[in-house]
Amino acid sequence: MILLRRDCLVFRTADGEGVVCSATEVAATLLGDAADQLGANFLTNAVEAVLHFFKVDLERSSVSVEEFSAALVKVLRGFGLDAYQDQDIPSKPLRIAEADLRGLARDSGKGFELLFFSRLRDELRSKVGESPQVIRFRGLRSCVKQLTGARRWSPRCQSLNDQIVDYLRTCLGSEMNGQNCALLVQ
């Protein structure tokens, strides 16, 4: 058996033939011009979610183009996009609220984690008030290193990283009040 690159799957065509291809390339082909509207990072994250689903959750390395397309449509709909299997074109731009974790860590100063988590919740509340479809927090890795004072990634960094993500998920769940919003932490 051939070991596939991390970003590849074997795609089965309608005639049963298997073609090894990058999932990102297949997604870009399926979405056409709409892929440019989504942005490279957004498309990469959506494709990685679909890849994870097939490779890790279902433990499969081979899928039909239709299965991949259906899973990608489901992910895009999860972000509030009108994705149709026939067209796969979002009907309107995505409303994204962005926040910088590095700035929050820097503004926390000597209060370190205690003050940081308080500011983080306030920032999340303000972003939820904008009624976005996606709330994107950037700079997680450098934020964690700044808060821990680490130069290199360590188990303590990973622990704080996980705490921040869990805290954001918990806060978002309690702040949503029936709204549908995705959380993206980079």
Q: Where are the domains of the chain?
A: 8-78, 96-185
What digits encode the pLDDT tens for the residues 80-110? 666 554 444 444 556 788 999 999 999 887 6
Q: Which two tokens stand for residue 93?
A: 């731009």
Asked whether the predicted pLDDT for residue 155 surpasses 80, the reply is yes
The secondary structure of the chain, three-state, reads CCCCCCCEEEEECCCCCEEEEEHHHHHHHHHCCHHHHHCHHHHHHHHHHHHHHHHHHCCCCEEEHHHHHHHHHHHHHHCCCCCCCCCCCCCCCCCEEEEEHHHHHHHHHHHHHHHHHHHHHHHHHHHHCCCCCEEEEECHHHHHHHHHCCCCCCHHHHHHHHHHHHHHHHHHHHHCCCCCCEEEEC
- pLDDT for position 28: 66
Output phi, psi for 79, to 5 deg. -95, 10
* pLDDT of 153: 92
123, two tokens: 């920032």
44 in Cβ contact with 24 (< 8 Å): yes
For the chain, the average pLDDT equals 78
Question: Residues 9, 21: contact at Cβ < 8 Å?
Answer: yes
Sign of the four-CA dihedral 170, 171, 172, 173: positive
Condensed to tens digits (0 to 9), the pLDDT of residues 123-148 reads: 999 999 888 878 889 999 999 999 98
| pLDDT value, residue 82 | 60
Q: What is the pLDDT of residue 70?
A: 81
Q: In the structure, what pLDDT confidence band is assigned to residue 159 with cuts at 50, 70 and 90?
A: very high
CB-CB contact of 51 with 103 (8 Å): no
pTM of the complete model beyond 0.85: no
Arithmetic mean of pLDDT, 29-47: 70
Highest mean pLDDT among 17-21, 56-60, 145-149: 145-149
